[in-house]
Chains A and B, each alone.
Chain A
């Protein structure tokens, strides 16, 4: 801890007289707009100031989110980010200075906001979201994401939804997800198993721009075609065992040289280092104002969910700022066959000396799920796969094996069935 960290005290939030006056206006009295069950008073204020909220991502959206939340009365904020500060971030990620280049975003952002907003505690974690387990995520009341990758979003969505146990309301964590692409953005609320989740809307996500293979191979017309030719075809030919890393300047330089030569051959102009990196990493230019708008909407929803003082949005707000300005809020529908939230979570108890076949019989006898041809896998093992044929043959011997040889007590098993649109997450408990 550095010496110039703000002094913390438990009553820190009250240190500055009147600082929460405006916020308290909404928390001290009921009103026609308050949500059902809203109870104004000290308890809700205390709750706002003490609940733990997690911000995932300390980039363009993350900087805005941390600032907004700290100024709205959230005082126990955690932030995760795996990146370090790059000089190109400084134009919009306003918690960073030139002297911070190379340092972890989460740590610099946390220190900056703590210094600027006395009494707020921000706990940074410099690393990947996948480093943390359920116990970590379970400590938060609300999780806000300001991420730029589909993969990271899918991971956190699945993690938070599968950890929700209906018998333990404490495990219910609303996710507020913000995203921007240039002048467009969206914010949305995901209530595990109650509203549409990220996976439900996977087909709405803009996919990375790709070009037909034959175009990049034979008839390039754009600088992007030359770069893709270098990154998709030539890289694999030259370095069959090396994974292309968009953050490695040497890799980008190699692609740039290859792509430039090809561009020259086809009289194409515009291949640059920035474009090469942009194509490889699928970078969409970020606009500071879009980040501010989307983050503000997310922080707003966090405040409403935390205090219940007004109705939260239901459940998706799209913001379009390139053609004039337009926003539209609608209810995104939950998908019944969503692999993450559409499935059913069940618990099964079985004597571990019984066989996998016994477990399958037990499952097929259950009237509430109606399985006919189940396939079963744990996170790492194919227990029994009904198809394709080679997998069926390879896993058939497992049917006669004892449960304890195949899994551990409390292990999660995914059950799918051709006749069932949904999947089932089964927790297997041993009886003995």
Chain B
């Protein structure tokens, strides 16, 4: 094994070259760079954008579902990744007020891998796929918007009408929603 004392004895004279202190790359940053660098085959329904290309910890995702209840809508999310990634999942918010059983009016998203089922082996891509799936298969069993979930469960036709109306900025039960068609 190692012999720490002999390492010490080998020490050459004159310590370090000094020089200015450079910002260190964190493990989170390396992992994120790897995750992002592999996102070169995004499905046509998803676009990512970076308000500051040097800041890879904050970015936006746009989803344009090409089937299902939400076809025709353009849905925007912000991703905030912190320095404890991938020990902690990214924080994801929908920036529009939308009518969806699993997304509340503040934009919080109920997606298991964003909270209780997050694991460090998961990555940004897994979260993006999960979000897209919520638009294809909204889930009445994990409601954040209880009213929307109830309608989905009891009357799919009415749910579909509500979605279509709210996506154009209409209202349901006195709550008005954002126009997500532009």
Chain A: residues with CB nearer than 8 A to chain B? Answer: 35-37, 43-44, 47, 51, 133, 135, 138, 141-142, 150-151, 154-155, 157-159, 162, 168-170, 172, 174, 191, 194, 199, 202-203, 205, 207-208, 210-214, 217-218, 232-233, 236-237, 305-308, 311-312, 314, 339-340, 343, 373, 375, 377-382, 385-392, 394-395, 408-412, 414, 416-418, 423, 425
* B83 in contact with A389 (CB, 8 Å): no
- Chain B minimum-CB-distance residue to A379: B23
A219 to B108, CA, bound (A): 16
Chain A residues near B182 (CB-CB < 8 A): none
Given A236-B106, A390-B50, CB of A218 within 8 Å of CB of B40: no
Cβ < 8 Å to A, chain B residues 1-43: 1-8, 10-12, 15-17, 19-31, 33-34, 36-40, 42
A214 to B141, CA, bound (A): 9
Chain A residues near B115 (CB-CB < 8 A): 210-213
* A388 in contact with B40 (CB, 8 Å): yes
B123 within 8 A of A: no
Q: Can you offer 24 A-B residue contacts whose CB atoms are under 8 A?
A: A154-B84, A154-B87, A157-B27, A170-B12, A174-B2, A202-B87, A207-B88, A211-B116, A217-B104, A217-B108, A218-B144, A307-B5, A308-B4, A339-B30, A378-B23, A378-B25, A379-B22, A387-B36, A388-B39, A389-B48, A390-B47, A412-B22, A414-B30, A417-B37
With most chain A CB atoms within 10 A of its CB, the pick from B6, B24, B56 is B24
Chain A residues near B108 (CB-CB < 8 A): 213, 217, 232-233, 236
Given A218-B143, A410-B22, CB of A138 within 8 Å of CB of B16: yes
* A339 in contact with B121 (CB, 8 Å): no
Chain A proximity of B63: nearest CB distance (Å): 14
* A213 in contact with B25 (CB, 8 Å): no
* A418 in contact with B38 (CB, 8 Å): yes
Chain A residues near B16 (CB-CB < 8 A): 135, 138
